[in-house]
Amino acid sequence: MVSEEGYGNPDTDLCMNAAKCEKLGIRTVVISDEAAGTDGKSQGLADAAPEITAFVSAGNVNEMIELPAMDRILGYDSSISNLSGGAEESLRKDGSMFVELQAIIGSTNELGFSRIGARWI
Amino acid sequence: MTRRVVCYINQFFAGMGGEEQAHVPPSARPEAVGPAMQIQSLLGEEAVVVGTVICGDSYYGEHLEEARAECVRLIGEFKPDLLVAGPAFNAGRYGVACGDICSAVTGTLGIPSITGMYRENPGVELYSPKTFIVKTSDSARGMKDALGAISALAVKILKGTPLGAAEDEGYFPRGIRKNFFHETNGAKRAVDMLLRKLAGKPFSTEYEMPVFKRIPPAEPVKDLKNATIALVSSGGIVPRGNPDHIRVSSAESYGVYDISRLDDLTPENFESIHGGYDRVWANEDPDRVLPLDIMREMEREGVFGKLYDHVFTTTGTGTAVAHAERFGQEIGERLKKDGVDAVILTST
């Protein structure tokens, strides 16, 4: 099983590793999250290899989610503007947040720890 | 509050005749006609078929703009909440007409639309991203099942019931990825898939590999001494304060900044906002990612002709490919227009 953490460059490593294994006759399955865009219309990996015939999705990291305001905050909620998946407009006045799924670390765990996955609609 | 449905059918299903009547122009009747009657029966109390618009398949195909416009107008007059077209099964002209009218109605009237086709109908590839095309068999012998699937989907859409994956709802995917929770986690699904692959059993991949366009690279620069070179970066180097609010990840925009009066990037004038690497060293000296200082040195020494007076910058982590492609095309057009010969693209 081949997995990776990250986007761009790691996607290329992932595809090269899986393709090399397949060409050596080592059957491979890939587990990876996808960066399919907030509208879900972009290709999820920055690279591709036709040898990757078995792919398990750990979810689209760009899908927007609602986080309700919390009673207690550990740290600084304004930091969301600097985190991947957040932006300046993420934190609302009432303390709720509208962010990408990837703002929650581990939500699209690349080892397939979670049940979430992207499917075609 | 009655939910209003309009149906679109061709001359044959309207009982007007076969191929010899395929040239009839668009018309409308304020009632369910042909298969629309069965659709009304399947919709039950949930919605009313308030009208049927009819057009000959040849007429639509040979007068595309006029037929589309007139049919959209006739459909709009019924003030529908949903359009159902066909189903067209494997009939090519009918499939293209159904796909086209659904796409036009959804696009201009802003209401959802559903049709039905067999997988080999040319309408599927052309229109599946623009409407809901329910999967049907290849002929009208499958009408009962097709109308059942179409009506079930129609009721869900009209009621605003959240839809499952395309495969579960029975329509051709529209090219959009959506997150769902599976019964089992990714690790288990991966092991199951691998065991099936090893045993030579059929399995369903959760994502088919995209096929990329092959873009031939440009020719090398012949006359470097007189060349105009531009700096473009996906390293997230922006003027201090990030005035254009470029996102730290999944950027949907890029910035264009005048560096004509600058020789050097420093923490006073620029910073890194990239969400994919530790920014400490880039913030100590932004030239490390966007090498303005070295470019100025080489410009003075005459290694190349001129440094273009603007830099283009965005953050290249988690950037959706569709956005990245658009940035490249827009920036490229501008650079070409301004006579730039080469680009140094710095990434991280």
Q: What is the pLDDT of residues B191-241, one digit of tens each?
A: 999 999 999 999 999 999 988 778 899 999 999 999 999 999 999 999 999
Q: What is the pLDDT of residues B300-309, one digit of tens each?
A: 999 999 999 9
The pLDDT confidence band at residue B334, using thresholds 50, 70 and 90, is: very high
Within 8 A by CB and 6+ apart from A34, the residues are: A44, A45, A57, A58, A59, A60, A61, A118, B177, B207
- Give pLDDT, residue B212: 77
pLDDT exceeds 90 at position B249: no
Which residue among B166, B184, B249 places its CB closest to the CB of A120?
B166
* ipTM score assigned to the predicted complex: 0.95
| Contact yes or no for A41/B322 (Cβ under 8 A) | yes
pLDDT exceeds 90 at position B317: no
Summarize the confidence of residues B313-323 as an average pLDDT: 87
| Contact yes or no for B193/A30 (Cβ under 8 A) | no
What percentage of chain B reaches a pLDDT higher than 70? 100
One-letter amino acid at B106 equals T
Separation between Cα atoms, residue B47 and residue A56, nearest integer Å: 39
Backbone angles phi, psi at B157, to 5 degrees: -65, -45
- Give pLDDT, residue A5: 83
pLDDT exceeds 90 at position B281: yes
Taking the CA of residue B242 and the nearest CA in chain A, the distance in Å comes to 11
Question: Which residues from A are below 8 Å from B316, CB to CB?
Answer: 8
pLDDT exceeds 90 at position A7: no
Separation between Cα atoms, residue B264 and residue A103, nearest integer Å: 34
- Give pLDDT, residue B26: 98
pTM of the model: 0.85
Centroid of chain to Cα B247: 22
The pLDDT confidence band at residue B339, using thresholds 50, 70 and 90, is: very high
Separation between Cα atoms, residue A68 and residue A31, nearest integer Å: 30
- Residue of chain A with shortest Cα separation from B128: A121
Q: What is the pLDDT of residues B126-161, one digit of tens each?
A: 999 999 999 999 999 999 999 999 999 999 999 999
Q: What is the pLDDT of residues A42-51, one digit of tens each?
A: 989 889 999 9
Separation between Cα atoms, residue B235 and residue B255, nearest integer Å: 12
Summarize the confidence of residues B115-121 as an average pLDDT: 97
pLDDT exceeds 90 at position B30: yes
What percentage of chain B reaches a pLDDT higher than 90? 91
Cis peptide before B35 (omega within 30 of 0): no
pLDDT exceeds 90 at position B253: yes
* Residue B73, CB-side half-sphere exposure with 13 Å CA sphere: 8
pLDDT exceeds 90 at position A114: yes
Centroid of chain to Cα B255: 24
Contact A49 B209 (CB under 8 A): yes
Centroid of chain to Cα B23: 33
pLDDT exceeds 90 at position B125: yes
- B241 CB within 8 Å of a chain A CB: no
Q: What is the pLDDT of residues B174-194, one digit of tens each?
A: 999 999 999 999 999 999 999
Summarize the confidence of residues B33-39 as an average pLDDT: 97
- B322 CB within 8 Å of a chain A CB: yes
- B204 CB within 8 Å of a chain A CB: no
Strand intervals (E) in chain B: 4-10, 27-29, 48-55, 82-89, 113-117, 132-135, 177-181, 228-233, 237-239, 255-258, 270-272, 306-307, 310-313, 342-346
Taking the CA of residue B126 and the nearest CA in chain A, the distance in Å comes to 16
Q: What is the pLDDT of residues B46-89, one digit of tens each?
A: 999 999 999 999 999 999 999 999 999 999 999 999 999 999 99
